[in-house]
């Protein structure tokens, strides 16, 4: 029986599943392991089921025991793992695509609505009981007939587009390549960031975090947007230059932001906390019971498939 380390506590259904297939080291206290402790715990293991909280950089990967053959990431993203370093060590890296698309798209729509309709300000006012109706009180932006730009029209982007279209939004997108007509569903393709951003009343960031996408939203590209645009991010915090976005919010170039992901989570840039028009969530994209179980089960299945066949359809390196 193969032995694996599961670095964070999973929902019980998934831990039970893992224990039926493998000899498992569980993290019953859900401790955030230091890199040194994680490496220590991998001794004698054949695989690791990681989460985004583990930074598996080249240094960590090079210190893993030779017995480790797979790192199964409990996420669709894998920016926390140095893929090249793993490949050089002969370690397969897998992710959990598709199963979290619906839940994440729902949060993507919530970010759009929350930012456009000034939900944070409204919640604060309601809790303090200090609001009084007037014709211009907490006026926000209506989604109907506004232009939604989607940066990264993958599974999640397409689902957000479908829901947004039903709300009356006009969909534009930028992708590495133009989609087929059946996947576009009437969305308008732009072959450059500048072209997309210039027509985006609202932007939904859905692209993966890679070396090429780090700080795509920066001081220069923010100027491409119409004044008063809204920027939302349901992908990864690395894609946004925080200081540039905070500055744009403060000077009202950008009307509002809806954010579920951040650099250096959970330590988000404190500048966002001072801005009323920032609608912020604590990385809830996949946070439904069904989705978290499906993700963990797929991460377990990835390891099982790899050891049974020598391959896995969800290998990313």
Q: For 180-239, how does the pLDDT look when each residue is reduced to its tens digit (9 = 90+)? A: 999 999 999 999 999 999 999 999 999 988 889 999 999 999 999 999 999 999 999 999
Q: Which residues contact 170 (CB under 8 A, 6 or more apart)?
A: 145, 146, 147, 148, 188
- At 1 the pLDDT is 94
Q: For 139-169, how does the pLDDT look when each residue is reduced to its tens digit (9 = 90+)? A: 999 999 999 999 999 999 999 999 999 999 9
Please give the Cα distance from 67 to 88 (Å, whole number): 14
Mean pLDDT, residues 119-140 taken together: 94
CA atoms within 13 A on the CB side of 25: 20
Q: For 23-63, how does the pLDDT look when each residue is reduced to its tens digit (9 = 90+)? A: 999 999 999 999 999 999 999 999 999 999 999 999 999 99
pTM, rounded to two decimals: 0.91
Of the candidate ranges 65-69, 74-78, 83-87, 236-240, the one whose mean pLDDT is the lowest: 74-78
Distances, alpha carbon 41 to alpha carbons 3, 7, 71, in Å: 11, 9, 14
- At 169 the pLDDT is 98
Give, as one character, the DSSP assignment of residue 35.
H
Q: For 105-122, how does the pLDDT look when each residue is reduced to its tens digit (9 = 90+)? A: 999 999 999 999 999 999
Please give the Cα distance from 21 to 16 (Å, whole number): 9
- At 210 the pLDDT is 85
Domain boundaries, the chain: 3-99+288-309, 101-280
Give, as one character, the DSSP assignment of residue 204.
E
**3-99+288-309 in CATH: which number?**
3.40.50.720
Q: For 89-105, how does the pLDDT look when each residue is reduced to its tens digit (9 = 90+)? A: 999 999 999 999 999 99
Gap between the terminal Cα atoms of the chain: 25
Q: Which residues contact 228 (CB under 8 A, 6 or more apart)?
A: 141, 201, 252, 254, 255
- At 130 the pLDDT is 84
The architecture CATH gives domain 101-280 = 3-Layer(aba) Sandwich (3.40)
Catalytic site residue from 118, 172, 236, 292: 236
Please give the Cα distance from 211 to 190 (Å, whole number): 21
Q: Reply yes or no on whether the pLDDT at 135 is more than 90.
A: yes
- Say whether 283 is catalytic: yes
Could you tell me which of 58, 47, 128 has the C-alpha nearest to residue 86? 58
Catalytic site residue from 23, 84, 243, 265: 265
- At 209 the pLDDT is 84
Question: Can you tell me whether residue 203 is helix, strand or coil?
Answer: strand
- At 46 the pLDDT is 98
Catalytic site residue from 8, 172, 283, 292: 283
Please give the Cα distance from 254 to 228 (Å, whole number): 5
Q: For 167-178, how does the pLDDT look when each residue is reduced to its tens digit (9 = 90+)? A: 999 999 999 999
- Say whether 174 is catalytic: no
- At 250 the pLDDT is 98
């Amino acid at each position: 029986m193969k032995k694996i380390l599961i670095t964070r506590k999973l929902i019980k259904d998934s831990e039970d599943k893992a224990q039926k297939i493998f000899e498992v080291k569980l993290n019953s206290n859900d401790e955030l392991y230091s890199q040194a402790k994680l490496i220590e715990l991998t001794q004698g293991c054949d695989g690791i089921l990681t989460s985004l909280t583990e930074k598996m950089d080249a240094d960590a990967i090079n210190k893993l025991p030779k017995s480790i053959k797979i790192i199964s990431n409990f996420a669709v993203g894998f920016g926390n793992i140095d893929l090249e370093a793993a490949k050089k060590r002969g370690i397969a890296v897998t992710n959990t695509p598709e199963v979290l698309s619906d839940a994440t798209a729902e949060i993507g729509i919530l970010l759009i609505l929350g930012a456009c309709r000034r939900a944070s300000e409204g919640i604060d006012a309601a809790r303090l009981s200090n609001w009084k109706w007037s014709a211009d009180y907490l006026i926000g932006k209506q989604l109907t007939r506004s232009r939604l730009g989607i940066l990264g029209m993958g599974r999640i982007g397409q689902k957000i587009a479908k829901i947004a279209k039903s709300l009356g939004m006009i969909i534009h997108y930028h992708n590495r390549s133009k989609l087929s007509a059946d996947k576009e569903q009437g969305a308008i393709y732009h072959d450059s960031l500048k072209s997309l951003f210039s027509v985006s009343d609202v932007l939904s960031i859905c692209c993966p975090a890679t070396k090429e996408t780090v700080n795509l939203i920066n001081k220069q590209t923010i100027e491409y947007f119409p004044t008063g645009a809204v920027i939302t991010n349901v992908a990864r915090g690395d894609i946004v230059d925080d200081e540039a976005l905070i500055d744009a919010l403060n000077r009202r170039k950008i009307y509002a932001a809806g954010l579920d992901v951040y650099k250096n989570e959970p330590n988000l840039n404190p500048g966002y906390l001072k801005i009323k028009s920032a609608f912020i969530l604590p990385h809830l994209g996949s946070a439904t019971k069904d989705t978290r179980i499906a993700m963990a089960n797929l991460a377990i299945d990835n390891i099982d498939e790899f050891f049974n066949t020598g391959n896995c359809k969800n290998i990313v390196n």
